[in-house]
Amino acid sequence: MNSSEEIAVSGMSAGRSAMRMGPAELVQAAAMARRFYLEGKSKIQIAEEFGVSRFKVARVLETALERDLVRIEIRVPAELDAERSDALRARYGLRHAVVVESPADAEESPDPENLGEVAADLLGELVAEGDVLGLAWGRSTIHMAAALDRLPPCTVVQLTGVYDAGTAERGSVEAVRRAAQVSGGDAHPIYAPMLLPDAATAAALRNQTGIARAFEYFDKVTVACVSIGSWEAGISTVHDMLTEEERSHYASLGVAAEMSAHLFDAEGRRIGRDLGERCITVEADRLRRIPEVVAIAGGQRKAAAIDAVLRSGLVTSLVTDTSAADYLMAAGPAPRPALDRADPDGP
């Protein structure tokens, strides 16, 4: 047995309790453990080989673990926190939760760039050939798209307008193009601002050929990638696009979070629905029907906003960091499972 194996047989130095096993028992336990853990043989196969019952094999393997004859290590890359990931998935009833270590020098920064890199790997797992991938505006989704190096052939559609039409080529439009280039599929970008002065202007833009073509794909999206913003300057693009009077109005309604120009209070209820009428964005009801909606958001400043959006039931999976995860694990009463995607506001 070499040092790379994950099973270590301690032999006669295994400890006080292990010394009660004689040398023949130690050798047999080591052999059975090797067959089971390293060679992948079943307990029935091991029982047949050693001429004992499968129940004895089970007892020997259990004893080997209890007496430290066998040590099992579960290893994931250093930047992933498997324990927090599993706890967060269970608490919110998510399909997937991936927690990465927060950068030591980015305690106050939202959405550390390594979130995008991990999210890119996650999309490589979730997207299947023939899927339609939807990308919403957000710094985290832009970082994710830049980090993509594998995607099966799929169509990529933009789910929101851009923060600033003058930066479209460097923002969500480029993210859509990048994802389509990696996958070899078609791209359907939206060359329009996310927020318009009024509902009539937004409605007219939605009817323009290129934008209408992208909207036609919204009901076909199978995997979506979104960002989350908290209601403060620099942390929500929608907040930054509004006037001071408008910000105060929505704040008075109790806004705690923003996702794709949809506003939520701390309990995950949608508020300020009139804002959506002025925006080029995927409707919340359409988002709710998408089988897999992956949110990429992290940092202490976004933690409360992440909690609010998760409580809405619109998100099925989350990529976040340890600082946000620690807040989420202690954030009030346990929420309704995210995979129960009924609208918390009712019909």
Domains of the chain: 23-67 (1.10.10), 80-340 (3.40.50.1360)
Give dist(CA 7, CA 59) in Å, integer.
17
Alpha-helical (H) ranges within the chain are 23-33, 43-50, 54-66, 82-92, 113-126, 139-147, 172-183, 199-206, 209-216, 237-241, 244-252, 274-277, 284-289, 303-312, 322-329
CA distances from 205 to 53, 161, 189 (A): 73, 11, 14
Residues near 156 by Cβ (< 8 Å), separated by ≥ 6?
132, 133, 134, 135, 176, 179, 180, 183, 185, 186, 187, 188
pLDDT reported for residue 112: 75
Does residue 12 carry a pLDDT above 50? no
Cβ neighbours of 206 (radius 10 Å) = 16
Give the pLDDT score at 78. 54
Least confident among 14-18, 20-24, 91-95 = 14-18
**pLDDT beyond 50 at 21:** yes
Lowest mean pLDDT among 13-22, 119-128, 146-155, 242-251: 13-22
Q: Does the pLDDT of residue 165 top 60, yes or no? A: no
* Phi-psi label, residue 346: left if phi above 0, alpha if psi -120 to 50, beta otherwise: left
Q: 210 — phi, psi (to 5°)?
A: -65, -45
Q: Whole-angstrom Cα distance, residue 164 to residue 151?
A: 28
Q: Dihedral angle at the C-alpha atoms of 266, 270, 274, 275, nearest 10 degrees?
A: 60
Is residue 105 pLDDT above 90, yes or no?
no
Q: pLDDT tens digits, residue range 109-140?
A: 667 778 888 999 999 999 999 999 999 988 88
pLDDT in tens, 265-323: 999 999 999 998 999 999 999 999 999 999 999 988 899 999 999 999 999 999 999 99
- Look over the chain and give the mean of its residue pLDDT values, rounded to a whole number: 85
- Residue 206 scores a pLDDT above 90: yes
Instruction: Kindly report, residue by residue over 223-273, the tens digit of the pLDDT.
Output: 999 999 998 887 788 888 888 999 999 999 999 999 999 999 999 999 999
Q: How far apart are CA 212 and CA 218, in angstroms?
A: 10
Query: Which residues are within 8 A (CB) of 239 and not within 5 positions of it... i.e. 6 or more apart?
Result: 229, 231, 232, 233, 247, 258
End-to-end CA distance of the chain: 62
Closest CA to 315 of 333, 336, 345: 336
Tokens of 257: 């979070």
Least confident of 1-15, 205-219, 251-265: 1-15
